[in-house]
Chains A and B, each alone.
Chain A
Amino acid sequence: MLVSDSATSSWLALLFWIPRRQLSMLMIMSTLSLSELLGLTVYDSTGAASGRVREAALVPQEDRSRVSSLIINTRSGSRTLPCSAVSGIDGGVRASTTAAEWNPASGAEGQFLLSRDLLDQQVIDVHGRKVVRVNDVDFYQETAQNRLVLKIEGVDVGARGAIRRLLKGVIPLALLRMLVQRIPPREIPWEFVDLIETDPARRVKLKISHERLAKLHPADIADIVEELAPNEREAVFETLDEEVAAEALEELEPKFQKAVVESLETDRAADIVEEMEPDAAADLLGDLSEDRTEEILVQMQPEERREVADLLEFGENTAAGRMTTEYIALPVSASAHDAIEAMRNFEGRMESMSTIFLTDSNGTLAGTVPLVKIAMAKPETPLLALHQEPLIYSRTNAKEKEYAELFDKYNLLTLPVVDDHNRLVGVITPDDVINMLRAKL
């Protein structure tokens, strides 16, 4: 298409030792990249060269991937050329209207400008689960009823797009096309690209959300978010669903957790902290200034607030500072069937469910029953019969080293924490211990 004269193609073939058949296949290719599109000469319906392409605009409200119009630099200023008025692109943009009919390019309200907003910017590769920088944008084009339809195929984040842009205009276009064909592409399909926009108003207008990002594992979301700049991080946490935001926040490094919660609006921060595990929430709030902690606590639901505030009373380095208050405790008379029922209704995390605790009428810890034993027992078996000996527990004020040793010595899956009257007040799970130990490595 662009390599038109046979003289060029034959010396190209010589240069790169490409079989002729393959060469001709390249020539009918109908993909196009943004870097090739920008700067192309635009010919209006009379065939006069009327300007050059400066931008390609998308209206995400209407279509997330179709280019709606091109912005053309003409001698009389910037003009908008709708793609519906383009009949084709072959070495230049062919318009089906006269230059006089093109409207002056107005403000970019509601428009997503590919060169300004996408090229060279960072985006999230949801499939590869990382932050990448856009080197080029690839389109596929089709012409239907003499009208051009230009859709984004994906963004190029590899050497191919980079070299295409670096050498554009430096070496002949035909040679460049040949050269980049030989570089394996690193392209992220457009449906896996998540955009980052820090301006909330634009986010709404451009329909930028993090639906796809939200589907990832919270730990992956956390990894991605840590790579972003602070205001971008804030933007992601403003957009994510509260529950997902809470889980992702738990997985962030304490340094970033603190920064994110400090930058968010108080009510938004409270909504997210509410959804967090009480122990994680307490750890986080414990790192903030007292004023900020107070502000956030006030905005939280009473029940969650009480749980978190109770935990905040304990020192972070004690057993009580690490424990979660969400666990399953049943009366000593309960059966295996009751335990299964309780698990079905339990809303806390799975880790703390691996053991069922038995308490007497005073709330005193009377026994622990591993989940596996319940699963293997008959439904009517009393839980007390499944009780694990010896009864291992920790005091609220136990030091990190003490409870970590208990986990190691008895190969525990959970460790109940009791107060001075031997009443069960919380549970430490292995992830808490691993977190603590990793911080010390």
Chain B
Amino acid sequence: MNYVLALVFGGFFGFSLNKAGLTKYNKIVNVFRFTDMAVLKFMMTALVVAMSGLFALRGLGLITFPAVPATYIVGNLVGGLIFGIGMALTGY
């Protein structure tokens, strides 16, 4: 059952990525060139919607959060720095 849900959520995830144009090389690279900010608009909208929804639901006692990603200041930062190179190179 959980796997069926995963398939459905994944479907919507991929659908929204495609419709926002994030499956295209130029969209991803152009955010780094400041000519098309669609990636940021998309990411931040998703963040704000999910943040407010999740914290409201937790406040109502309906959900408990899964493990929050651990903070390793150097690891997260260095990982992000290397990730950016790959991201600008491939347009992932």
Is B truly associated with A? Answer: no
B residues near A (Cβ < 8 Å) are none
